[in-house]
A and B are shown apart, each in its own frame.
Chain A
Amino acid sequence: MAGIGYDDHDDGKPGFFARWFYSTNHKDIGTLYLIFGIISGIIGGYLSFMMRMELSEPGIQIFENGHAYNVFASMHGLIMIFFMVMPAVIGGFGNWFVPIMIGAPDMAFPRMNNLSFWLLPVALICLLISFFVPGSASGNGFGGGWVMYPPLSTSGAPGPAFDFIIIGLLAAGFSSIFGAINFITTILNMRAPGMTMHKMPLFAWSVLVTAFLLLLALPVLAASLFMLFTDRIDGGTGFFDPAMGGDPEMFQHLFWFFGHPEVYIMILPAFGMVSHVVSTFSKKPIFGYLGMAYAMVAIGVVGFVVWAHHMYTVGMDVDLKAYFLAATLVIAVPTGVKIFSWLATMWGGSISFSIPMQWALAFIFLFVLGGVTGVMLANAGVDVALHDTYYVVAHFHYVLSMGAVFGIFCGFYYWFGKMSGYLYNKWLAAAHFWLFFIGVNVIFFPQHFLGLNGMPRRYVDYPQEFELWNQVSSFGAYITLAGVGFFLLMLVEAFIRKRPAGANYWGDGATTLEWTLSSPPPYHQFNTLPRIEQNDEH
């Protein structure tokens, strides 16, 4: 049975159907993930543009009611996080480059790798179905936020819409868990001879730490989703139902125990990619390599004990808040180590400002901006004024829509030639970068003002005092839309023109193993394992 549709060509590639549906090749699976990420990015982007259009002036313009808006906001958050960022950075770039970078011919469990991928379309289908089936009394779909707090997600959303989301997220969760097992095993067990842990490229390090976060955080999300599921059943459990002695607050603890590591899951791989790009285009090895690697480990570890900073206003004990305040601030230290090491890597370098480097530089700056507003929010006292306002929205879009997404584009332009074998058009790519850079800043910078001034999140309509900055913000969304357009144009153009990319089109600075292979790499690379010299420096 194992060979269905299997047809050996000269290069070892199977026929179309077997190659893309029955794949066991890490590069092909990586490509599937990237295509999936782009599709989800467009869906998630569409949802956000609809929201921005709605919010461009006071009054309810587009949506039927607040519920419809909430559905869009919730699905936007879920799709962007679970179906755009995670598949792109871990499934896409991780699959493509972790095995190559450590000198392995493939992932440890190639079949399970494909299972990880195929669970995602299943999950996305479930989420998309949920749009069209009854949610609450006010309409179709689930509008309880991406955080899905009960009672709004139990008694507040009686229809099957939310059940579909639970099933979808469980599927996505298991996809990530299997992926994590695969990455950990691959990295620990399949490094090429001479590739010690301390010689391993930083992207592989970042994926290793991320995989551990996934492995330990996602089961807790799955458990809490499962409890929501049984709580929702008529005559079912009552974990979060106060009438049965349960506690809705408990869900928030469980959710954020997953949720906070989750935000580092999204940003650590971006850290890894940015490290490579910064080093490549400064023509210098990474500064403080070990510090960089262990800073990520530290972020991962501390990331597990800060979760309740999302819950400063739920009525927690004040000493607990004090603890979470202090613990949260600690994360700024290893993150700072990363930022300053990047700066030091560039210092004394010979920097060329090619497209990936532009994304990397923008990433560093905008991530710092988003990071420091996180530090503001970490101060429990101040968070009372800012919690659940647009200040938080601004914070997390700076670290996500600019941090994680800029990291994705950074890696995408860095490796595009390697993956596709073609070079992109620099002008289209530059237009994409600048429209995006300006656009997202125009969207999200004013949202700090809205938040400080008190505008709450998840509002379909707002008092007229908030009009100005919302208008500006929506205007920025149109600029960003144009940016996404140029991204797609760039893709189409590159695949039409087919300018061949050489093995190492970035020159001296690019030193990791993928640059020793052709572009695109052979279907199975490293039939003879590479040997890493003992004195190789990073």
Chain B
Amino acid sequence: MAGHAVEHDYHLIPPSPWPFLSGCAALVWGLGMVTFFAGLVDRTGSSPMAEWFFANGLDTLKSSLTGDGSLSGGWIILLVGCLFAAYVMYGWWKDVAAESAAGDHTPVVDIGLRYGMIMFIMQEAMFFVGWFWMFFELGLFHKVRATWNPDILENAAGYADSMAPGVTSVDAWHLPLMNTLILLLSGTTVTWAHHALMHNDRKGAKWGLFLTIALGIIFTWLQLIEYAELFHLRESGHEAWIGNNAYGSAFFMATGFHGFHVLIGTIFLFVCWVRLLKGGFKPEKHFGFEAAAWYWHFVDVVWLFLFAFVYIIFAMNGVAH
């Protein structure tokens, strides 16, 4: 059969360096993660070189955040890993875009890409199931757990209350409400862009997409402000931060992970925007754009869940006051 003409519409890909390089990048990144967060060598001062590369980088970050700045290093491997990964992703997606432009994405391949994106979003959703499960467990059974804890049996109720300050300062009706509106609005702008693209109104598409990206950036910005406020509250004696209690942990993990997804979604949309500006996408064929839009809607829905449960409902039942 070798040498036989290809008579199907599937997309056979010639060998590609990107997957192997992704593996290499993952290895560097993983080493960097362990180094940064756990540290492979102690800071004894005996071998400064090794410590600069392999000591705990989180300590460095903390010491520079507190303005002390006495420690250094520990972050370089992680940085290299991230850059390596970014380079690989760039190269990989560039190839994909080129193939798409070359017409390799026949209708059947296009359907495959759709399946792939749906599955990807499904697994992302299961990730959030993990965080929400943890959050509900902590939120719903918080007081029950307090009565179990042998160290605090004498004052279980007091213990339960003592957990509360974790996120009291986050009032659902200020920044979070604003963020909700921003994300909802961005959902409409991205749909606008989509419709414009389908009707070959490229100018409208560019504007819609631009607004969506801008809203995404504003969202991230406001979220950072909220975190910064919480951080300052802790500094000024309020006990509101990750390392403080499990409820705070769940709060930051869920909202932080969501924020991370907003970031990815924004970059995804940005890439589409650049492609659009460069003349990419056609009214009848623009799956890259649709995938970004799907992803954006998914991130939006997750936020609505966060807003409803983390910010509003659990703030009412006394767990978070």
Contacts and interface: CB of A to CB of B under 8 A. Distances in A.
Interface of A: 1-6, 10-12, 14, 18-19, 21-24, 104-106, 108-115, 117-119, 121-122, 125-126, 133, 159-160, 163-164, 167-168, 170-171, 177, 180-182, 184-186, 188-190, 215-220, 222-224, 227, 229-239, 241-247, 250, 253-254, 257, 517-518, 522-529
Interface in B1-39: 1-8, 10, 12-20, 22-24, 26-27, 30, 33-34, 37-39
A62 to B, nearest CB: 28
B207 interface: no
A44 B71 CA distance: 41
Interface of B: 1-8, 10, 12-20, 22-24, 26-27, 30, 33-34, 37-40, 58, 62, 91-92, 95, 108, 111-112, 115-116, 119-120, 122-124, 126-127, 129-131, 133-134, 137-138, 141-142, 145-146, 149, 151, 163, 242-247, 249-250, 252-253
Contacts of B23: 115, 118-119, 121-122
Contacts of B14: 2-3, 6, 14, 24
Contact of A190 (B15, B22, B112, B242): B112
The 6 tightest CB contacts between A and B, nearest first, are A223-B130, A118-B23, A237-B249, A246-B246, A22-B15, A114-B19
B133 to A, nearest CB: 7
Given A105-B12, A185-B112, A215 B7 contact: no
B20 A21 contact: yes
Contacts of A223: 127, 129-131, 134
Contact of A189 (B111, B137, B244): B111
A6 B15 CA distance: 7
Contact of A171 (B6, B20, B30, B91): B30
A122 B33 CA distance: 14
A235 to B, nearest CB: 4
Contacts of B141: 247
Contact of A246 (B119, B129, B249): B249
B2 A219 contact: no
Contact of B112 (A108, A114, A517): A108
Main secondary structure of the interface of A (DSSP, over half): helix
Contacts of B243: 235-238
A242 B38 CA distance: 22
Contact of A163 (B38, B245, B249): B38
Nearest to A14: B15
B304 to A, nearest CB: 20
A184 B126 contact: no
30 contacts: A24-B13, A24-B16, A105-B6, A110-B13, A113-B19, A121-B23, A122-B26, A159-B38, A167-B30, A181-B120, A185-B115, A190-B10, A215-B122, A218-B123, A222-B127, A230-B249, A232-B38, A235-B62, A237-B242, A237-B246, A237-B252, A243-B151, A246-B246, A247-B246, A250-B138, A254-B133, A525-B1, A527-B4, A527-B6, A528-B7
Contact of B15 (A23, A112, A121, A238): A23
Contacts of A170: 30
Contact of B130 (A4, A184, A224, A529): A224
A77 B8 CA distance: 43
A525 B146 CA distance: 63
Contact of B10 (A2, A10, A104, A112): A104
A188 B13 CA distance: 20
B20 A114 contact: yes
A181 to B, nearest CB: 4
Contacts of B108: 189-190
Given A111-B18, A111-B19, A239-B134, A215 B253 contact: no
Select the residue from A104, A109, A111 with max chain B CB neighbours within 10 A. Answer: A111
A470 B297 CA distance: 58
A234 B58 contact: yes
Contact of A167 (B34, B58, B122, B249): B34
Contacts of A254: 130, 133-134
Given A237-B252, A247-B138, A106 B2 contact: no
Contacts of A122: 23-24, 26-27, 30
Contact of A245 (B37, B112, B163): B163
Nearest to A25: B15
A524 B246 CA distance: 54
B137 A250 contact: yes
Nearest to B137: A250
Given A244-B245, A247-B138, 15 more contacts: A104-B10, A111-B92, A122-B24, A164-B30, A177-B123, A181-B120, A186-B112, A223-B131, A239-B249, A242-B145, A246-B138, A246-B246, A250-B134, A523-B2, A524-B1
Nearest to A112: B19
